Amino acid sequence: MQPPETADQNVPQGPVDASVVPRFAGIATFARLPRLDEVGRADVAIVGVPFDSGVSYRPGARFGPAHVREASRLLRPYNPAQDVFPFGSQQVADAGDISANPFDISVAMAEIEAAARFLGEHAERLVVIGGDHTIALPLLRVAHAQHGPVAVLHFDAHLDTWDTYFGAPLTHGTPFRRASEEGLIDLEASMHVGIRGPLYSKGDLDDDSRLGFAVVTSEFVEEHGVEAAITRIRARVGNAPLYVSIDIDVLDPAHAPGTGTPEAGGLTSRELLRMLRGLADLRIVGADVVEVAPAYDHAQVTAVAASHVVYELLSAMAPR
């Protein structure tokens, strides 16, 4: 990689060359990409949000961004599945982490929103690594400010459209209810994928539908296959500006043990990556990958999956 003062500003700066600097050495930016301050402006900025004060069960997702960056060292420049160079056809850079108050969720949400707006002045799109799923709300506020109501494609074991937990309206189980109530999402184009497991009542599904979401369950994928799921996703989203929000617990605990609220019967990592490849010609305006909790991860299984999820999102965003 050329140093920034001599680099051709018309040519994206890519990752550190693994044949020159070993993968286990150097600064652990995502995929060993340049920092945003080194390139000045990016088509896509990777940013961490180490915040997990909104969790309802296992804590630890505040350490997710660093864990995913570490696992991303093995990613390579060419994606054969999508036939694209995600770091060569667009400038991708690591913007570091957004600092958020760990003791006051409302203050933290305001800080995340303000920081994301600022980063939007230096990058066309953001891909955010969490952190818990509460952070999706301020990110959707920023996406809405830029694009109007967005289609939300939400991969998760859980609906995350509950009202409150212990009277708290801002938690990792409520962001999409708040987003719908605030008018941030396209009620005709939003969808959950991978939903499974027990609910509090059947009314949870009725509420969710009223809030603007269709559902592709994990059982639907098992019964009808990945291609049928992709067909339903594309029909629902259409040409709307698309925000993709991925809770890593959409994967079965066999593929992602390091998460806060694991549920049996989830997608495989292969199924999720294939679905993301099916989004390549849609209007993706932003994304997040959340709920990686390193303390429960073994041999970086969850972090490796999450790093590849980010890689496929970046590939889907890349110009053809």
The answer to whether residue 4 is domain-embedded is no
The answer to whether residue 175 is domain-embedded is yes
pLDDT of amino acid 6: 41
**Cis-peptide, bond into residue 131, ω within 30° of zero:** yes
pLDDT of amino acid 150: 98
Give residue 281's domain range.
30-317
**pLDDT tens, 88-109?**
999 999 999 999 999 999 999 9
**Which parts of the chain register pLDDT below 50?**
1-7
Domain count, the chain: 1
The answer to whether residue 241 is domain-embedded is yes
The answer to whether residue 9 is domain-embedded is no
List, as one string, the DSSP characters of 156-217.
Answer: -SS----S-BTTBS-STTSHHHHHHHTT-B-TTTEEEEEE-S--S-THHHHHHHHTTEEEEE
| Helices within the chain (DSSP H only) | 36-39, 64-71, 105-119, 136-147, 175-181, 203-210, 218-224, 226-237, 269-277, 301-317
The answer to whether residue 282 is domain-embedded is yes
CATH of the domain at 164: 3.40.800.10
**pLDDT tens, 152-169?**
999 999 999 999 999 999
pLDDT of amino acid 9: 60
**pLDDT tens, 191-207?**
999 999 999 999 999 99
- Which sign does the torsion angle of CA 244, 294, 220, 137 carry? negative
pLDDT of amino acid 16: 87
CA atoms of 72 and 31, how far apart (whole Å)? 5
The answer to whether residue 8 is domain-embedded is no
The answer to whether residue 63 is domain-embedded is yes
CA atoms of 171 and 203, how far apart (whole Å)? 20
The answer to whether residue 22 is domain-embedded is no
pLDDT of amino acid 8: 57
